[in-house]
Structure 1
Amino acid sequence: METSIRPCRHEDGDRMLEIINLAALAYRGAIPADCWHDPYMPAAAFAAERARGVCFHGYAQDDRLIGVMAVEPVRNVSLVRHAYVHPDHQGRGIGSAMLSHILTRTHGQVLVGTWQAATWAIRLYERHGFVLPTPPMQQLLLSTYWCIPARMAECSVALAYPPLSDDDAVALMARADAAF
């Protein structure tokens, strides 16, 4: 079986969206009910992400996608976004392989946001050197680098790679504000 991690192509769109929505079913019952919607990512929201330039990479077996992960440059950081592995292939190191792939191609500060209840995702990021800043800094990072509803931010965490002290986080956000 041949595996690869490659940039996603236009024709991968339907499969990418299928993987995202199937894998996101793990959040149902874990995140607050008022934050869950079905499908988790509507097609229009997915199209908007791609149109905005969010760069998706896919993990493929015999050229069939089984995982996706994206990176998005925002101000002075890179955000890891939309990290999902098809449920039939989870627990095999695919998420780790994709994250390692992204990190070797991304320079500077990298942030990732996820649901507080997604402890499995938090553990994955921590295994790769991401650290949870203090809760107040997490909320400031979320409000500085993500455009998400307040309720979603309230139920989310931000992790940093390399790790950020409170002072480093404040300086990073000040540089982001100064640039824009």
Structure 2
Amino acid sequence: MSHIRPCRNDELTAILAIVNAAAQAYRGVIPADRWHEPYMSLGELEREIAAGVVFWGYEAGGAVLGVMGVQRVRDVDLIRHAYVSPGSQRRGVGSALLEHLARASTDRLLVGTWAAADWAVSFYRRHGFELVSPERTVALLKTHWTIPERQIESSVVLAKPPLDGGDR
């Protein structure tokens, strides 16, 4: 039996293990100057939580197999840090987490991801997210995320429902 639930404070190690194992897919794909190990440190995770990111976990058989964060920023909900353990990928874990967070949201959802992570972009598009124009992407990343300029240059934003004006 599986279920989705908020992650607990005593699960930070499990969250990090999932994030850092799944993020290995970025190695050699994202700009080399943005890659580091671990991909997410304990300090970074704690800062994200302190900034309002709420992590949800997909649990099955007593183990958390995937995590996804959501953060309310201004008038939207941001999907943050979506990762599934490599051994549990392509089994509906990420889809279940995303669908759960989408049902819980009453506003537009935005997700930012690496432009070169075509598997991530495809995942969100399969779930009804649409790419935002490059111009609006830069504006959204600067107003809704706190990330370095280099990451802004290398990222895309997807929205659900789509932003007005037919951005693609």
More helix by share: 1
Q: Structure 2: how far apart are the matches of 1:160 and 1:51?
A: 25
Q: Please give the residue correspondences for 1:87-166 in structure 2 after superposition, counting only pairs within 5 Å.
A: 87-166=86-165
Partner residue, 1:55: 54
Partner residue, 1:29: 28
The structure number with the bigger radius of gyration is 1
Deviation at 1:50, TM superposition (A): 1.4
Q: Structure 2: how far apart are the matches of 1:19 and 1:160?
A: 25
Contact kept? 1:133, 1:165, Cα under 8 Å: no
Q: Structure 1: how far apart are the matches of 2:11 and 2:52?
A: 15
**Matched residue of 1:160: which SS?**
strand
Q: Structure 1: how far apart are the matches of 2:101 and 2:62?
A: 19
Q: Structure 1: how far apart are the matches of 2:71 and 2:23?
A: 20
**Matched residue of 2:57: which SS?**
strand
Q: TM-score, normalised by structure 2?
A: 0.96
Q: Percent identity?
A: 50
Q: Structure 2: how far apart are the matches of 1:53 and 1:143?
A: 17
Q: Structure 2: how far apart are the matches of 1:126 and 1:145?
A: 20
**Matched residue of 1:49: which SS?**
helix
Equivalent pairs, count: 167
Contact kept? 2:4, 2:59, Cα under 8 Å: yes
- Unaligned 5+ segments in structure 1 are 169-180
Compute the RMSD of aligned alpha carbons: 1.3
Q: Structure 2: how far apart are the matches of 1:76 and 1:150?
A: 23
- Unaligned 5+ segments in structure 2 are none
Deviation at 1:128, TM superposition (A): 1.1
